[in-house]
Amino acid sequence: MSGNALTNAESEPGGYARFVSGKKSKWVVFGIWVLLIMSLGSFASKLNDAQKNDTTSWLPKSAESTKELKIESDFHPNWYPAILLFQRPGSALTDDDKAKINAAADVMKQDNPPAKNLEMVVHSAVSILPSKDGTAMQIIVPVNPGTDGWNKFPDTIKAMKDAVATANPGVKTWVTGPMGEAGDEADAFKKINGSLTYFTGAAVIIILLIAYRSPILWLLPVVTVGGGALTVAESVIYLLAKHAGLTVNGQSAFILIVLVFGAGTDYALLLIARYREELRRYEDRHEAMAHAVHRAGPALVASSATVAVSMLILLVAEMNSTKGMGPVLAIGVIIALVAMLTLMPALLVIFGRWVFWPAKPSYGSDEPTAHGLWARMGKRIAVRPRAVWVVTAVILAAFAAGMGQLNAHQQTVAEQFVNEPDSVKGAAVQAQLFPTENGQPLAIIGNAAAKDALEAKLKTVAGIDAAGVGTPKIIKSAIVNGHVYLEAPLTDPPDSKAAQHTVDRVRDAVHSVPGADAEVGGGPAVTLDIARASSHDSKLIIPLILVAVFIILGLLLRAVLAPLLLILTVILSFTASLGISALAFKGFGWHGVDIGMPLYGFVFLVALGIDYNIFLMTRIREESVRRGTRRGALVGLSATGGVITWAGLVLAATFGVLATLPIVPFAEIGFAVALGVLLDTMIVRSVLVTALTLDIGKRMWWPSKLASAAEPDGGTLEAARATDEVLVS
Which DSSP letter does residue 316 get? G
Q: Is 123 a member of any domain?
A: yes
User: Is 398 contained in some domain?
Assistant: yes
Residue 59 lies in a domain: no
Same domain, 135 and 237: no
The domain boundary residue, chosen from 528, 557, 580: 528
In a domain, 208, yes or no: no
CB 518 within 8 Å of CB 525: no
Rounded Cα–Cα distance for residues 470 and 489 (Å): 9
- Asked if 262 and 407 sit in the same domain, the reply is no
pLDDT at 698: 87
70 within some domain: no
3 state DSSP class of 244? coil
Beta bridge partners of 87: 136, 172
Say whether both 456 and 510 belong to one domain.
yes
User: In the chain, what is the straight-line distance between the N-terminal and C-terminal CA atoms, in Å?
Assistant: 11
User: Cis peptide leading into 169, omega within 30 of 0?
Assistant: no
How far is 651 from 570, CA to CA, in rounded Å?
Answer: 16
Q: Answer whether 303's CB lies under 8 Å from 23's CB.
A: no
Residues 485, 373 share a domain: no
How many Å apart are CA 625 and CA 565, to the nearest integer? 20
How many structural domains does the chain have? 4
Residues of the chain with pLDDT under 50: 1-10, 714, 725-729
**Do the domain assignments include residue 707?**
yes
Q: What is the pLDDT of residue 2?
A: 37
Last residue of a domain, one of 488, 511, 528: 528
* CATH number of the domain encompassing residue 102: 3.30.70
Whole-number Å distance between alpha carbons of 332 and 330: 5
What range defines the domain where residue 634 resides?
368-419+536-729
Same domain as 646, residue 684:
yes
- Does residue 155 sit within a domain? yes
**Pairing relationship of beta strands 408-409 and 593-594 according to DSSP bridges:** parallel
pLDDT at residue 302, rounded to an integer: 87
Q: At what angle do helices 285-313 and 320-341 cross, to 10 degrees?
A: 170
Element (H, E) at 534: helix 523-557
Residue of 231, 174, 156 whose CA lies nearest to 201: 231
Same-domain check for residues 128 and 164:
yes
- State whether 23 and 97 are in the same domain: no
DSSP string of 329-376, one letter each residue: HHHHHHHHHHHHHTHHHHHHHHH-GGGGTTS---TTPPPGGGGSHHHH
Residues 590 and 724 in one domain: yes
pLDDT at 353: 86
Minimal CA–CA distance to 649: which of 197, 208, 195? 208
Same domain, 663 and 606: yes
Question: Is residue 346 situated within a structural domain?
Answer: yes
376 and 502 part of one domain: no
Give the pLDDT confidence score for residue 4 in this predicted structure: 36
Q: pLDDT digits over 669-726, tens only?
A: 889 988 998 998 888 888 999 999 999 988 889 988 887 777 665 466 666 666 554 4
Angle between helices 177-212 and 629-656 (to 10 degrees): 140
Residue that finishes a domain, picked among 365, 383, 407: 365
